[in-house]
Structure 1
Amino acid sequence: MGPFTVLYTLIFIISLIGNLLSVWAFILSSRALKQSTTIYLVNLLLADILLLLSLPFKILKDLGAAPWSLMVFHCQATSITIYISLYASIAFFALIITNCYLQHFNRTSSLRLQDVGFARLLSLVIWLLLLLIMVPNMLLPTQQVPVQQYLSCSSLKKDISLHWHALTVFLCTALFLNASAAVFLSSGLALKRLLSRHSNAELLVETRRVAGSMTAVALAYMLSFVPYHVVRTPYTVTPTKVITNCQMKRQLFLGKESTLLLSVLHICFDPLLFFYLCSPFRQAVRMIFPYSIKQKTNHVELMVQNTTSLQQDVAVAV
C-alpha cells in the first residue's frame, strides 16, 4: 500500500487547497446562489469535503501507522463515509450534466429540474437515500479480531454484515448505472444538437461551447467512475468465499485500490468545474485574486490580439 498512500497524500494536499478556496468562494457568492446548477455544485462540494475529511484515516490505516482503535474506527465509519461521498458525487455529476442539457438545449421540457426549490429537495433525497443504504454498515455487529499491524476491514464483519455490504454495493451500482445513463444520454443529445446546428453560425458558437463543456465533464465522469465499477463488483464477492484463489483475490484488491484512487482523484479537479460552470463562483474567485486573474486575462487578450494581427498580415501577404 506504500505507493497508494503517497498518492493519496498528494491528492489530500492538492484538494485541500482547492476545496478550501471553493468553500470561501461559495460563501462570498451565497447571495447569488439562485440557480439549480449552483445547488448541485454546492452539494458536489459538500461530498468532496466529506471525502477529504475521511482521507487521513485511510492513509494512516493503509500505512499501518494508526493505532488499532483508529483502524477499527476507519473500517466501521470513515471507510463508509468515503463511499457515501463517492456516490453522492456520482449522483450530482449526473444532475449537473442533465441540468446543463435541459437548460441550453431543451428549455420547453425542462420541467422542475431547474427549479431551485426542487433542486434542494432532490439533493436532500439523494443524501437521505445514501445514508439509508450505507449507515447500516456502520451499525451491524462486528467480530473480534486479534491486534495486528494491518487490518482487512472485511475480517471484522460477521456473515450478516458481509451480506448487507454486498447488497449495498449492488444498490450503489444500480445508482451508478442510472446516473451513467443520464450522463451519456444528455451528452449524446447535446452532440446531436451540435451537429444539427452547423448551418447557423450564431447558434453554432454557443452550442459548441455548451456541448464541449458537457462532453468534458462526461469524459471526466467516465474516467473517474467507470473503471472502479468494472472492478468493484467481482471484488465484492471475494469476502463471501465465492472466490477462493489467493492470487485472484490479490489482483482484485489491487485493481479495486487503483480504480478507487482514480475515483478519488476527481476532488482535485472539481474546483475547476465550479469555476467554469458557476458565474457567481467565478466572480468570487476574482474578488479573492483580483490582481493575478486580471494579469492572466490581459495576457490572454494580448495573445489573441497578436494572433489576430498575425492572421491579418498573412492575409494581406497572400
Structure 2
Amino acid sequence: MMPPSSNSSTGGAEEGKQCIVNDHMGPFPVLYILIFIISLPGNLLSVWAFIRSPRAKQQSTSVYLVNLLVADLLLLLALPIKILKDLGAAPWSLMVFHCQASGVTIYISLYASIAFLAFIITDRYLQDCHTLSSLRLQEVGFARLLSLVVWMLLLLIMVPNMALPIQEVQEQRYLSCSSLKKDIGLHWHTLTVFLCTALFLNASAAVLLSSGLALKRLLGSRKEPKLWVDARRAAGSVAAVALAYVLSFVPYHVVRTPYTLAQTKVITDCQTKKQLFLGKESTLLLSVLHLCFDPLIFFYLYKPFRQTVRRMLPCSGNQTVGDTQEPTAEERMQPLTSEQRQDAV
C-alpha cells in the first residue's frame, strides 16, 4: 500500500508545499482506454494486411506507410502503462518506468507519426506532378534512407531522457515526471521539446506547401475536364491526410511550449500549472486519436493493402471504382512510371 502524498517538498515543490497537477485526471483514462480498444483491431489488421500484401515494399508510399504503422505499434505498446498511471492503479515502480521509458516512447511515436504523415502528404502530391526531381524523391531507396534518418534523429534526441540519471523522491500517490529529473535532465528535456517542435514546424511547412500546390493545380485545371478529374483526386487525398494531421498535432503544439515552461519552473503559479497540464493532456489525447484514423489512411492510400483486406471479407468479389481507375493523363504520357505507380492510386 503506497503512503499518501506528503506536503513536504519532493522536487517541483515550492515554498514547502507541493503543487500536484495530476490529481484530477477526470475522463482521460477512460478515453484512452476507448482509443486503445478501438484502434488495436485496426492496427493489428494493418500489420497482417501489410505482411500479406504483394509488392508491399516496392514503392515510396508503402515505405512511409509501413514506418507510420511501426510508430503506431510503439504507441499501442506504451499506452496501457500510461492508462494505469493515470488511473492511479500502477505501482510506484511502474510509474517511475513510465516517466523514464514508456512516456518517452509515446513521444518518439508521436513525432515519428508527424514526420511520416508529412512524407505521405508530400509523396501524394509528387505522385501527381511526375517531374524529374519528384521521381528522384520517390525512389524506394531514398524513402528508406529518409525513414532511417528520422528514426535515428528521434532516438538521438529522445534516448538521453531515458538514460540520464534521476533523483530519489518520496513514494507518493501522484507522481509528476519532472520531479524525478535532476537539473541536467530538465535542461535536456527542454532542449528535446524545442528540437521536436522544430521538427513539427518543418513537417508542417511541407504539409502546407504540398496542400497549397495541390489546391493550386486543382484550381488551374478547372477548364480541362480530364485534368480536373486527376487534380481533384490528388487534392482530395492530400487534403484528407492533411486534415487528420492538423486536427491531431496542431493543438498539442500550441500548448506544449508553455507547459514545458511550467515543468522547468519558469512558470511557478500552481493554478496555472494545473490548467496547462489539463490543456496538455487534452491535446495529447487528440494526438493519440490518430491511432484510430491511420488504418483508414492505409486502406485509402495503398491499393495492395485494400485488396488484401477485401479478400478477407465475405462479399469482396467486386472491386470498387477506386481499384479500377484509369491511368491519369500524365501517367498515359509516362508508361514506365505508371506501371510503378498504379497500385498507389
Tell whether the structures are fold-level matches, with TM greater than 0.5.
yes
What residue number does 1:304 align with?
A: none
Matches within 5 A, 1:1-318: 1-289=25-313, 291-294=314-317
SS of 1:242's equivalent in the other structure is coil
Taking the aligned partners of 2:319 and 2:281, their CA distance within structure 1 comes to 38
Deviation of the 1:33 alpha carbon: 2.7
Identical-pair percentage: 76
Taking the aligned partners of 1:230 and 1:16, their CA distance within structure 2 comes to 28
Deviation of the 1:2 alpha carbon: 3.4
Deviation of the 1:296 alpha carbon: 10
5+ unaligned residues in a row in structure 1: which ranges?
299-318
Taking the aligned partners of 1:35 and 1:271, their CA distance within structure 2 comes to 18
Paired residues, number: 297
Amino acid at match of 1:178: N
Deviation of the 1:32 alpha carbon: 3.8
Q: What are the superposed Cα offsets for residues 72-103 of structure 1, whole Å, 9 maximum, x if unpaired?
A: 00100000000000000000011001111111
TM-score by length of structure 2 reads 0.84
TM-score by length of structure 1 reads 0.91
Taking the aligned partners of 2:119 and 2:90, their CA distance within structure 1 comes to 38
Write 1 or 2 for the structure with the bigger share of helix. Answer: 1
Deviation of the 1:294 alpha carbon: 4.9
Taking the aligned partners of 1:114 and 1:171, their CA distance within structure 2 comes to 27
Q: What are the superposed Cα offsets for residues 185-215 of structure 1, whole Å, 9 maximum, x if unpaired?
A: 0000000000000111111112101101101
Deviation of the 1:107 alpha carbon: 2.7
CA gap 1:70/1:286 in 2 versus in 1, 3 angstroms: same
Taking the aligned partners of 1:293 and 1:11, their CA distance within structure 2 comes to 28
Structure 1 runs of 4+ off > 3 angstroms? 292-298
Taking the aligned partners of 1:115 and 1:4, their CA distance within structure 2 comes to 42
Q: Is this contact kept in 2: 1:77–1:138, CA < 8 A? A: yes
Taking the aligned partners of 2:194 and 2:301, their CA distance within structure 1 comes to 32
CA gap 1:150/1:253 in 2 versus in 1, 3 angstroms: same
Taking the aligned partners of 2:165 and 2:240, their CA distance within structure 1 comes to 43
Amino acid at match of 2:291: I
Taking the aligned partners of 2:116 and 2:235, their CA distance within structure 1 comes to 18
Taking the aligned partners of 2:267 and 2:181, their CA distance within structure 1 comes to 17
Taking the aligned partners of 2:174 and 2:317, their CA distance within structure 1 comes to 51
Supply the RMSD in Å over aligned alpha carbons. 1.5
